[in-house]
Amino acid sequence: MLARNRILVALKRTNQYPILGSRLLSSSAYLYNTSVDKKGQQPAQPVGSDVEPPKRKPLSRIAIGGSTNQSQRDSGGSIEFATWKAAALLVTLGGTLYYFFAKEKRRLEIEKEAEANRGYGKPLVGGPFKLVDFNGNEFTQENLKGKFSIIYFGFSHCPDICPDELDKLSVWLDELKKRGIELQPIFITCDPARDPPNVLKEYLSEFHPDLIGLTGDYNAVKHACKQYRVYFSTPPSLKPGQDYLVDHSIFFYLMDPEGQFIDALGRQYDEKTGAEKIQEHVKAFVPKEEREKRKDKWYSFLFN
């Protein structure tokens, strides 16, 4: 009897649950496809309709108050990169302008120095002279024109100073040639009694092939030394054949292509600084005709 009752209960449950389950499924499907918006929106199509339901717009995955999206991050990165590029360009441009103006300022200083050394009216250093070179050819101040020249006064029997200075001059000449600058190097003896042309030629060949030796009689050499404000002296009461030393000024005289003095380089200039100083003068050189024209310009104060 008990077993029969259990079977009847099971049959009742089987008949009731499918109906309840189908009702629940129908209700949920209806709710899913029917809009509950009370603001006048069109209701969705019921299940089984031929019309395809509208597609839903996907929701954003970024929480309220969260970070920006990828496109915003990319835009910010581009702005930051452009800012750094602008800063780098500004620094480069500023450095270039500073270098240019500093270089131009130095050039103007060298030009003013050369103009002051030339002097106004009669030059303070330099002037007419007439000597002979070590090949026996006449050499005057006219031979200085058309090129930069550097002049040194010495003598072949000098034990140490002249050889040291001529060695330094040789280094300058070679270094300046590498930089495209050609100089006419001239050696004028202060001891014409012991430095005839053949002696000078042999002596100078030991230093540099471009060196030109000049000599002459005593009065001609003395006059040339006076023109360049060079001091020299020989000991008094010399006997024939007696060895002696000649005191003289120790300077290199730099002359421009117009034959005018522009600077004197003393022993404070070494192999490096001397070449740099000469190069500065060569780069800053302005012909006399152009210098005269600038005097009437509004910017002439820059060169005074």
Distances (CA, A) of 93 to 96, 97, 104: 5, 6, 16
Q: Which of 94-98, 102-106, 245-249, 254-258 has the lowest mean pLDDT?
A: 102-106
How far apart CA 183 and CA 174 sit, in angstroms, is 10
Q: List binding-site positions for Cu cation.
A: 158, 162, 248
Distance CA 265, CA 125 (A): 13
Record the pTM: 0.61
Q: For 170, phi and psi rounded to 5 degrees?
A: -60, -40
- For residue 279, pLDDT over 80 is answered with yes
> What gap in Å lies between CA 179 and CA 275, rounded to an integer?
10
Provide the pLDDT confidence category of residue 91 given band limits of 50, 70 and 90. Answer: confident
Mean pLDDT for the chain?
A: 76
Per-residue pLDDT at 276: 96
What is the model's pLDDT at position 290? 83
What is the Cβ-side half-sphere exposure of residue 301, based on CA atoms within 13 angstroms?
A: 2
From the annotation, which residues make up the binding site? 158, 162, 248
Q: Percent of the chain scored above 90 by pLDDT?
A: 46
**Top CATH class, 130-235+245-303:** alpha beta
Whole-number pLDDT of residue 21: 43
pLDDT at 102 exceeding the cut of 90: no
Which of 203, 194, 176 has the alpha carbon at shortest distance from 234?
194
**123 class by beta-carbon count within 10 Å (0-12 exposed, 13-18 middle, 19+ buried):** middle
Least confident span in 73-82, 129-138, 151-160 = 73-82
Return the pLDDT at 116. Answer: 59
Q: Whats the size of the chain, residue-wise?
A: 304
Region 3-11 average pLDDT: 49
Q: Is pLDDT of 179 > 80? A: yes
Tokens in use for 215? 């000599």
Average pLDDT over residues 159-168: 95
192: helix, strand or coil: coil
261-265 β-sheet, strand order: 138-140, 130-133, 212-215, 183-189, 148-154, 252-255, 261-265
Q: Which of 104-108, 158-162, 167-171 has the lowest mean pLDDT?
A: 104-108
| pLDDT band, very low/low/confident/very high, at 180 (cuts 50, 70, 90) | very high
Nearest to 255 by CA among 220, 222, 228, 230: 228
The residue ranges of every structural domain in the chain are 130-235+245-303
